Amino acid sequence: MTSDSLTYKQAGVDIDAQAEALALAREAIKRSATPGVLAEVGLFGGLFDPAKVGCADTVLVASADGVGTKLEVAKRAGIYDTVGRDLVQHCINDILVQGARPLFFMDYVGTGKLEPAVVSDLIRGCADACTDNGLALLGGETAEMPGLYTAGDFDLVGFIVGAVARDRILDGSRVAAGQVLLGLPSLGLHTNGYSLARMILFERLGLGMDDRPESLEGRSVGEALLAPHKSYFHALWPLLKEQRIHAMAHITGGGLLDNVPRVLGGRFDAMIDRSTWETPALFRTLVDGGRIADAESYRAFNMGIGMVCFVDADRADEIQQDLVSREEPCHRIGEVREGTGTVRWSDERSS
């Protein structure tokens, strides 16, 4: 090599750092393997046999997502594995609402300068969430792109594939007037609304990650913001197998107002009574601190409800008790009526 020879590392891409990050996360990835995985870590493509996990002759359901600017909170805290878990569990919920069992997951990390410890934590968080929810981390990509990302910046994206029997697909076609809406609580913001939340907490209120304002009832700002995006798979899968749920809505970006109508089909309205659950402290802090209008708050945030299930009225109490027995609290938040495909508030507050 001559004195003026350039290397890829001098251009900002450290191949050895990529290999180190993968090596650090390799054991966590291996732990996520299920019987359907046919390939070792590190091949060009992941191989998966659905028949080996009982999913032959089914319809595949796929989704992709990210965790948005929750990454900025993770960077402030110096905690990275939790957002990997958030990503997987968000994606699980996105296909669960269509009746699908998750099979495998793939991750993508893009960064300006690859820090092996940071990237391995991101991947490990993904792998641990896959292990906990019974799907495989089948593969992924780590890309170091100086000039596109600045040093310290990174993005995290995930792709999930699941399977559902054709006659058990949930697409809104089973929604009917008179059904009851059960709301399962969120653990916090999950992975939506962080740009507004950061503006309110850090800029308008001048709070730091370690501050514990009285309004958060004992939690620090960092603890409240990094609360995980909950997976509802273990709680709801037994009910889905028994076909006791007719439709579901994952309450992500757009809140209750935009996500519940996805399954109403323009034929029904969801009458929701907001007095049936207590708005968690974090959301009250954000609404008050940002002086957010009522309608805006229910589109920007989930306001304490992470999943909505549509069930028969005569089985609602039984299903609610079933969930509570498995330590999954839920609220009876409303009902379905004939309509035009919108969410309407049945409580006294103005919308």
H, E, C per residue of the chain:
CCCCCCCCCCCCCCHHHHHHHHHHHHHHHHHCCCCCECCCCCCCCCCECHHHHCCCCCEEEEEEEECCCHHHHHHHHCCCHHHHHHHHHHHHHHHHCCCCEEEEEEEEEEECCCCHHHHHHHHHHHHHHHHHHCCEEEEEEEEECECCECCCCEEEEEEEEEEECHHHCCCCCCCCCCCEEEEEECCCCCCCCHHHHHHHHHHHCCCCCCCCCHHHCCCCHHHHHCCCCCCCHHHHHHHHHCCCCCEEEECCCCHHHHHHHHHCCCCEEEEECHHHCCCCHHHHHHHHHHCCCHHHHHHHCCCCEEEEEEECHHHHHHHHHHHHHCCCCCEEEEEEEECCCCEEECCCCCC
Q: What's the rounded mean pLDDT across residues 339-348?
A: 92
Residue 132 inside a domain? The answer is: yes
Share of the chain above pLDDT 90, in %: 77
Is 7 a member of any domain?
no
Q: What pTM was estimated for this model as a whole?
A: 0.89
Residue 285's pLDDT band, with cuts at 50, 70 and 90, is: very high
Whether residue 42 has pLDDT greater than 70: no
pLDDT band at 5 (very low <50, low <70, confident <90, very high): low
pLDDT tens digits for 105-135?
A: 999 999 998 899 999 999 999 999 999 999 9
Burial of 78 (0-12, 13-18, 19+ CB in 10 A): exposed
Residues 323 and 230 in one domain: yes
Q: Are residues 302 and 233 in the same domain?
A: yes
Check residue 209 and give its pLDDT: 97
**31 or 45, which is more confident:** 31
Q: What is the pLDDT of residue 8?
A: 46
Higher pLDDT, 129 or 8: 129
Q: What is the pLDDT at residue 18?
A: 67
Minimum mean pLDDT range among 106-120, 245-259, 308-322: 106-120
**Structural domain includes residue 3:** no
Whether residue 101 sits in one domain with residue 57: yes
pLDDT digit string (tens) for 149-188?
Answer: 888 899 999 999 999 999 999 999 999 999 999 999 999 9
pLDDT of residue 350: 43
Instruction: Indicate whether 9 belongs to any domain.
Output: no
pLDDT of residue 44: 55
Where in the sequence is the domain holding 135, given as residue range(s)? 15-168
Two tokens at 197?
A: 């939340």
Percent of the chain with pLDDT over 70: 89
CATH number reported for the structural domain that contains residue 294 in this entry: 3.90.650.10
**Across residues 235-244, what is the average pLDDT?**
97
What's the CATH number where 20 sits?
3.30.1330.10
State the pLDDT at residue 2.
57
Same domain flag for 123 and 213: no
Pairing of strands 268-272, 343-345: parallel
In this structure, the answer to whether residues 157 and 209 fall within a common structural domain is no
Show which of 122, 147, 168 is a domain's final residue: 168
**Residue 31: per-residue pLDDT:** 81
Q: Is the pLDDT of residue 193 over 50?
A: yes
pLDDT of 237 reads: 97
Distance CA 105, CA 138 (A): 6
